[in-house]
Amino acid sequence: MTQTESEHSVGAAYETVLRTSVRSDLTRWASYVMSRSAQRPAAHHRLLLANLEKLSRGETDRLMVLMPPGSAKSTYASILFPAWWFVHHPRSSVIGASHTATLAAYFSRRVRDTVTQHASRLGYEISSSDRAAAHWTTTTGGEYYSAGTRGSFVGRRADLVVIDDPLRSQVEADSPSLRERIWGWYQSDLATRLKPGARIVLIMTRWHEDDLGGRLLAQSDTEWTVLRLPALAEADDPLGRTTGTPLWPEWESLTDLSRKRLAVGERAWSALFQQSPQPQTGRLFDVSHLRTIDRESKEANAPVVRAWDLAATAATGDNDPDWTVGLKLARNSVGTYAILDVVRLRGSPRQIEDQIVATAAADGPTVRIGLPEDPGQAGKSQIAYLVSRLSGYHVSASREAGGKAARAAPVASQMDAGNIAIVHAKWNHAFLDELKLFPFGRKDDQVDALSRAFSMLVPSQQATRKLSIPLFVR
């Protein structure tokens, strides 16, 4: 045998061993592919691959993968795994779903391209007649189809479903209607497309306690294998890490994670990085301590104020502008407070001005009025005009100082102590919902008005600049 023939024989033997190895073992397949770019699976990747292989063998049929952003979970579960799946399930159908059809098609292309690049070792190819980004078939009878979580799978059936990131942002996660829509999509569109014995992999970072992962875990009639790996190890870590150890220290050190934690804030850190979303209720306002009363107290000489938070954009079409809010608050002789009324509207500047004047007339001249003054000449001019229309009333204005949460903290403390009551009225529901969500909700106008009203009634904080009506009318 010549040297060339010998080298060819060794090369052929190596190729045979390699093909057998990567086809039989998911971790070896992933290690081989990643080695082509000078990378290798870390400990958490190997644990993920072991769980995916169990699912392929049918030892489990539902796998939930909860890992932080940047942990490469999608590379292994959404790209490398489906390519290897077709080796062992050559005539199966796979559905890949993500929060948008664009992202789903991206994963589909990556799987397709991986198969094309390593077809000789995997033992199958992509059919030349059917290789679109969102839908392609294999030469062994397999099929891959991708769609967004708001799309339809009409006419499709699946042996394997890979859902990667069903939500794309905190804004979406905080929307009850969108969470419900995704849950409806899962139940009606996706679950009805499963073949007998089908398997599902859900890959996500947690956004909300009621996101798709949370909703599935709350169902008593489903059993999921859950692989939860937080960015910093907690007790009973699946990898055996000591508490506080980073998930992937070779990639992101403890210093890097600490800096990121400071940047994103505790709510995002707990949800996205620790995979433990916390309810928004009670982050600042604990409304369970808020007492409800039937009517306004008529205690003599009790100071009463109406504080306003101003917005000037009318609601048109699909826009979602801020609200103008006027909140009426009283303090009694023993130092407790009562929220008496909330006026809330969206309108043009003229409509808002008219509402403020009408509300003042309804409240009477004994109720002090608090207005926010925006910095700059425009803000001063607006306040001057409002004050001119409120002739005969006690009006004060001041600029906002500090962040919204800092301004709300004093009144939140009084609520925690049980020192605040609320008059039972139709506006209660919207008001309490905003308090529960603050400071993470989309709206905070009622909270801002409450903070201003409280500051007007606390003696040590009554240093707001009083406006002289004659001066501004001149």
CATH 3.30.420.280, applies to 287-473 = yes
Superfamily of domain 3-273: P-loop containing nucleotide triphosphate hydrolases (3.40.50.300)
Q: Which two tokens stand for residue 393?
A: 């009333």
Q: Which two tokens stand for residue 164?
A: 């990667």
The predicted structure's pLDDT at residue 461: 41
User: Where do the domains of the chain lie?
Assistant: 3-273, 287-473
The predicted structure's pLDDT at residue 376: 64
The predicted structure's pLDDT at residue 451: 96
Instruction: Give tens-digit pLDDT for 21-74.
Output: 899 999 999 999 999 999 999 999 999 999 999 999 999 999 999 999 999 999
Instruction: Give tens-digit pLDDT for 421-460.
Output: 999 999 998 898 888 878 877 789 999 999 999 999 986 5
The predicted structure's pLDDT at residue 458: 85
The predicted structure's pLDDT at residue 464: 36
The predicted structure's pLDDT at residue 358: 97
The predicted structure's pLDDT at residue 4: 53
The predicted structure's pLDDT at residue 86: 97
The predicted structure's pLDDT at residue 62: 95
The predicted structure's pLDDT at residue 327: 98
Low-confidence ranges of the chain (pLDDT < 50): 5-7, 281-282, 318, 461-474
Taken in order 354, 356, 357, 361, is the CA torsion positive or negative? positive
The predicted structure's pLDDT at residue 436: 83
